[in-house]
Amino acid sequence: MKKFLAIILVVLMVLPLALCGCKDEKKDQSDVQKIIEQAQSMTLEELAKKAIEESNGKKFFGVGNSSRGKSALPVFIEYLQTIDSSYTLEFDWQQPKNNKIFDQLTAESRKTTGTYAMTLIQDGNQIESKMVQTGILDTFIPKEWAEANEIDAAKYDGYLALQTLNKVFMFNCVGTKTFKNCWEYVAKDAHGQFMDIDSEIVGKNFLYMLTQDKYAKYLKDAFDKLSDADKAYFQPTIDEVADTAKDFELGENGKYALAWIKLWVANYNAVEDDGPICQNLVDVSAKDQFGLLVYSKLRSIEESETKSKNNVKVAAYEDGYEGIGGYGYCHYLFVTDNSPLPWTACAFIAYMTCTQEGFEAWGKDMGGYSSNPDVAKKNEELHNHAQGGYEDGENKYPVKNDRGYDWWVGDGKLVLEDPEYCAKVAFTVGSWIETLDKYSPTAEE
């Protein structure tokens, strides 16, 4: 027995040292991470000089979910040329479809030196589980961005968001039907148009986030505002998922979130992209229809006899509206851990997040909000999206008058993506969602 106890004591003494050694190994920085650590204490101009030194005459490859990186890069090059007029840089910007960006970045990570210098990427859940935890992507926090947000870049453990985008509930208002409560979207025969959750995963993240206490309470509060008849319609579904909510260790209102999710998945009409959804809704033939789609898609609507921006309304803007108004998700910026041009990547990221000119490719349209409060303010001063529907002093298209980020996350009850929470519930809530029956429109529909 004494020998056994002695062995146990030795193991207990050695184990912490072994664990400590493992932790130290994890702290070993890659060459790119070492550059990022230096870059986070440097101004944009200092980074620009480093970028010029590193990449003059070379080619820069970027990859992203947004095609607008291709528009931002030439502006960035022009900025560098104000510092060194002889500077040149070729570039290529790729936008993989069908969620292939994660496979592409994973394959590239196996190279000692990769092709892509940086990425602009969405879907916090997969970023957390596939890109960050695996060490494929590194977060760089620009000095000016950290100062504007009053944080310490060295201690910040979140991602760097370029912007928050919102998907909002909109409905065709040609008829008399209005939507005053978010539970109406999951009522009988309510088939809202929505990008399929299997083709755009941020839509699935929206459903995950509904189970977080804050947003589940939004749904419970909206449920309490329903008529007795409507409550009676939804109550059986709420009761049906109550035990599941407990199994998933959700909060006290978790069953309301699961009920809404179950009914939404069973009801929504899958459309391949938000652009077609918007084109569908603004048509006079779409009487009483609704959808959940990117707000800025209204920018592409050309007025005609059959289509008009005045044929739709934003539900959350209606007086007396109850419950969630939509979903907010981010475009995040990362440097690849095997970046061939890390200084240039850091400078480009700083330019996009710390100057209005760098953000212009996205900021020119409503529904996209810079994560830098200084840039957001300058962008609104320039574009005045709050009066986006005005032409020649007349409020021609009220639906385009964007009430802004602060309104959306407050009064608008926008459901905001939290990457860590999404990753946390992906196995439980996510696996459960996969078992749900989906709506399949008939040939007549």
For residues 317 and 190, state if they share a domain: yes
Which residues constitute the domain of residue 351?
Answer: 31-163+330-380
Same domain, 304 and 360: no
Alpha-carbon distance values, 192 to 223, 289, 316 (Å) = 19, 7, 15
**Token pair 């979130």 in the structure block, residue:** 257
Do 346 and 370 belong to one domain?
yes
- Is residue 262 located within the same domain as residue 175? yes
Same domain, 173 and 141: no
Contact 295, 315 (CB under 8 A): no
Q: What does the buried/exposed string (b/e) look like for 244-268 if buried means 16 or more CB atoms within 10 Å of the residue's CB?
A: bbeebebbebbbbbbbbbbbbbebb
In a shared domain, residues 322 and 335: no
| Confidence label for 27 from pLDDT (cuts 50, 70 and 90) | low
Q: What is the CATH number of the domain that holds 309?
A: 3.40.190.10
189 and 316 inside one domain: yes
Are residues 74 and 211 both part of a single domain? no
> Is 399 domain-assigned?
no
Contact 172, 399 (CB under 8 A): no
Mean pLDDT of the chain: 92
Taking only the tens place, the pLDDT of each residue in 173-218 is 999 999 999 999 999 999 999 999 887 889 999 999 999 999 999 9
Whether 330 and 368 have beta carbons less than 8 Å apart is answered as no
Reported confidence tier of residue 3, pLDDT bands at 50, 70, 90: very low
Same domain? 159 vs 169: no
Query: Do both 303 and 179 map to the same domain?
Result: yes
Q: Is the pLDDT of residue 384 over 50?
A: yes
Is there a single domain that holds both residue 37 and residue 150? yes
Does any domain span residue 401? no
Specify the number of domains making up the chain: 2
Indicate if 177 and 144 belong to the same structural domain. no
**pLDDT digit string, tens, across residues 229-283:** 999 999 999 999 999 999 999 999 999 999 999 999 999 999 989 999 999 999 9
